[in-house]
């Protein structure tokens, strides 16, 4: 990975020049991609991800949107406090760090911050994970076996062992490929924690709430047995810094 930072007009872009032959603000414009496939946010998620093809690569282009009370007022605007503190730059750098650790997360391609006075808007391009579907979709299938729950537990343990905090650890951001390999998506507002601590327990409780919400809103099986299978995978592998094959 070769990191480059360029300023193009009102945009500042960080990118991997081994993946992008010619950097341009047009790469972040949905209108530039005639064959883009839109993927709406799951479970009411904000915004839309576009799946695009670039020189034989499969990419995911995501525009950042606000949540919470400011969503209707500012939508996709964030307060400018300097390039290095913007959400796309921080997520891109975290994803770069995850790749160096060999953790199962998307490869960062490019991130853009577009300055708009005291605000900015933002976009992120990552390599698309091949063949994955959200774990929340797998829950809709009949009889998820115990090994998949264990695999999800091992995956989360890998990140926690590396002190990686995922700000929105949910069943939607856990992705599973046809071979049962597990990945994490969406590291917006994620960070490297300075030390071990109770943040890991809070992270797991957030995931558990996500699973209970899906169970309550649809006909899926999630209870003490499934959570124990998850913990069986999580606890023994906690000290492992990379995902088992």
How confident is the model over 217-232, as pLDDT tens digits?
887 889 999 999 999 9
Radius of gyration of the chain (CA): 18
Residue 88 and residue 45 in contact, taking contact as beta carbons nearer than 8 Å: no
Q: What's the pLDDT at 13? A: 96
Q: Which of helix, strand or coil describes residue 29?
A: coil
Q: What's the pLDDT at 240? A: 43
Is the domain 133-234 a CATH 3.30.230.10 member?
Answer: no
Give the Cα separation of 19 and 23 in Å (integer).
10
Q: Is 168 a catalytic residue?
A: yes
Residue 188 and residue 236 in contact, taking contact as beta carbons nearer than 8 Å: no
CA 32 to chain centre: 24
Q: What's the pLDDT at 197? A: 83
Stretches in the chain below the pLDDT threshold 50: 42-46, 239-245
Among candidate residues 94, 98, 106, 103, the one with its CA nearest the CA of residue 242: 103
Give the Cα separation of 122 and 113 in Å (integer).
5
Task: DSSP for 156-218, please give it.
Answer: HHHHHHTTEEPTT--TTTEEE-TT--EEE---TT-EE-SS-STHHHHHHHHHHHHHHHHHHHS
The token pair at 128 is 């698309």
The token pair at 54 is 């670039």
The 3-class SS string of 119-158 reads EEEEEEEEECCCCCEEHHHHCCCCCCCHHHHHHHHHHHHH
The active-site residue, picked from 34, 142, 145, 168, is 168
Q: What's the pLDDT at 180? A: 93
The token pair at 60 is 């995911």
């Amino acid at each position: 990975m070769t990191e480059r930072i360029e300023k193009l007009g009102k945009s500042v872009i960080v990118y991997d020049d081994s993946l992008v032959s010619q950097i341009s603000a047009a790469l972040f414009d949905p209108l530039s991609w005639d064959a883009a496939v839109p993927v709406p946010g799951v479970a009411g998620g904000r915004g839309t991800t576009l799946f695009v093809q670039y020189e034989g690569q499969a990419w995911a282009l995501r525009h950042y949107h606000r949540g919470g009370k400011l969503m209707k007022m500012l939508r996709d605007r964030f307060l400018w406090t300097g390039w290095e503190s913007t959400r796309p730059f921080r997520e891109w750098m975290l994803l770069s760090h995850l790749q160096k650790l060999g953790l199962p997360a998307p490869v960062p391609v490019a991130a853009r911050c577009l300055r708009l006075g005291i605000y900015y808007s933002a976009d992120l391009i990552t390599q698309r994970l091949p063949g994955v579907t959200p774990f929340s979709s797998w829950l809709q299938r009949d009889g998820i076996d115990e090994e998949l729950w264990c695999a999800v537990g091992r995956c989360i343990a890998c990140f926690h062992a590396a002190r990686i905090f995922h700000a929105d650890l949910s069943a939607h951001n856990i992705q599973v490929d046809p071979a049962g390999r597990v990945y994490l998506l969406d590291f917006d507002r994620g960070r490297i924690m300075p030390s071990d601590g109770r943040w890991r327990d809070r992270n797991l409780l957030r995931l558990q709430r996500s699973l209970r919400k899906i169970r309550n809103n649809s006909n899926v099986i999630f209870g003490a047995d499934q959570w124990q299978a998850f913990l069986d995978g999580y606890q023994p592998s906690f000290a492992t810094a990379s995902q088992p094959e």
